[in-house]
Amino acid sequence: MKRVTRLTAAGGLICGALMVTQAAMATEPTTSPPATRSAVLAASGTGNGLVTELGSERTAGTWIAEDGEPVVAVTDEKAAAEVEKAGARPKMVEFSGDDLRSATEALRSAPRVSGTSWAVDPASNEVVVRADSTVSKKDWSSLTDLAEEIGGSVRMERTEGAYTMRLNGAQPIFGTGGRCSIGFNVTDGENDFMLTAGHCGPAGSVWFSDNQGRQEIGRTTESNFPGGDFSLVQYLQDAPSNKTNVVSVGDGRGVRITSVGEAAVGQRVFRSGSTSGFRNGEVTGLDATVNYPEGTVSGLIETTVCAEPGDSGGPLFSEGVALGVTSGGNGDCEEGGTTFFQPLSEALDDLGVQLTGLPQSAARPTAAADGSSDDDSQGAAAPGTAEPGSLESIGAASDLLDRLADPRNVGPGLLVVAGSMVALAATRFIRTEQDRQAYRRQYSQTWS
């Protein structure tokens, strides 16, 4: 009994000390790791800077080559020389950025055809128009005639499947309209929100953490759909999980987000969703437009990443840099397909929020976060070698640490320490008294 008491008291002393230490650490201001210095995004920053500097009459976009070098499409020799001087690779093309923009405007002004999409592909110097299996022969013929009127800057393609919104953190949330995924935690400085897809539900939608509708976690306060595809869901109660900048990728793991950036054509990207889990692919186009049956969304990121119903709103990222949230697409994760993402920077600006857990300089796209760099290593890494970011364990262990780190546990921790010390002192006193009695008994027997 004495030994059990001693061991229990020692365990209590250790536990109480941990509670006090963790709680004391929680009172210190948290810091985030520095913004990711991505070679891929640095190359993208170089290319985008040149496109802005030279103008859309002399350039037609930029992308990242397989060797990691930035490539800029140019329309004249002088522009090519300036691109080379800046350390990027020029490629002479027929159509300028103005030409490609004019083509997209013509497509947008035509009668809307559900099941179609288009995106600018700077590498091929074309606007690629795709029509899914739901588009009739008559509508396809009309689109083809329109493309011929626009000219050689438009390429027509048929695609399998149907464009759908992936409704049905990448943790799941459940509403009356179906299931979606949490994208990123954001804040306006006073309240905590989750950012997800706009088509998941209009303002006022109620969300639950279980599909039985028992645990309400938040309500949609702002929604943008169609046009854009993003919304804010305000958490109903404060919780440590509301303030994390780690996105779930399954199996009790997560990726820590360190900054916000812009996607680049040719870049390897990663997505997480509550249905199909953790997936990766490549950015194939920017400023994409998709005509869903429910409405048209423009300004999207086009990728080869697969997605399935329930993945809507899930996060898109690469190398710890947050890029967007899942909108919709076609195909599935067995056969593959195309998935479109709402750019994150546009959503943050429109909603007036920033990512949770990041300093101001990293929570919004800046020169450091969007990939621009002052060094000469823009092409140091190929886009295909990009990794998702820093992986770490999340889940039950994380929740336990959050509870231990609560400053309110300082008092209980001190009580546990004090009680354990009293118990240890008591066992020591009992042992000393027992030794004294034993000595007296032995002494009496010896001199009896």
- Residues with Cβ within 8 Å of residue 174, at least 6 apart in sequence: 207, 208, 209, 210, 211, 213
**Annotated active-site residue in 312, 345, 373, 420:** 312
In the sheet with 70-74, reading across from the earlier edge strand, the strands are 59-64, 70-74, 89-92
CA angle 343, 37, 242 (to 5 degrees): 55
DSSP calls for 328-389: EEEEETTTEEEEEEEEHHHHHHHHT-EETTS-HHHHS--TTTTT--SSS-TTSS-GGG----
Q: Is 109 considered catalytic here? A: no
Take residue 9 and report the two structure tokens written for it: 């008291």
**Annotated active-site residue in 99, 121, 132, 229:** 229
**Annotated active-site residue in 44, 96, 199, 231:** 199
Q: Is 209 considered catalytic here? A: no
Instruction: Give the type of residue at 230.
Output: F
Q: Rounded to the nearest 5°, which phi and psi values hold at 302? A: -95, 130
Distance separating alpha carbons of residues 247 and 185, to the nearest angstrom = 9
Across the chain, how many H-helices and E-strands are there?
9, 25
In the sheet with 246-250, reading across from the earlier edge strand, the strands are 246-250, 253-256, 390-393
For residue 213, the 8-state DSSP code is: S
Determine whether 60 is exposed, middle or buried from the number of CB atoms within 10 Å of its CB (0-12, 13-18, 19+): buried
3-state secondary structure of 432: helix
Q: Is 199 considered catalytic here? A: yes
Q: What is the CA 352 to chain-centroid distance, rounded?
A: 18
Give me the active site residues, please.
Answer: 199, 229, 312
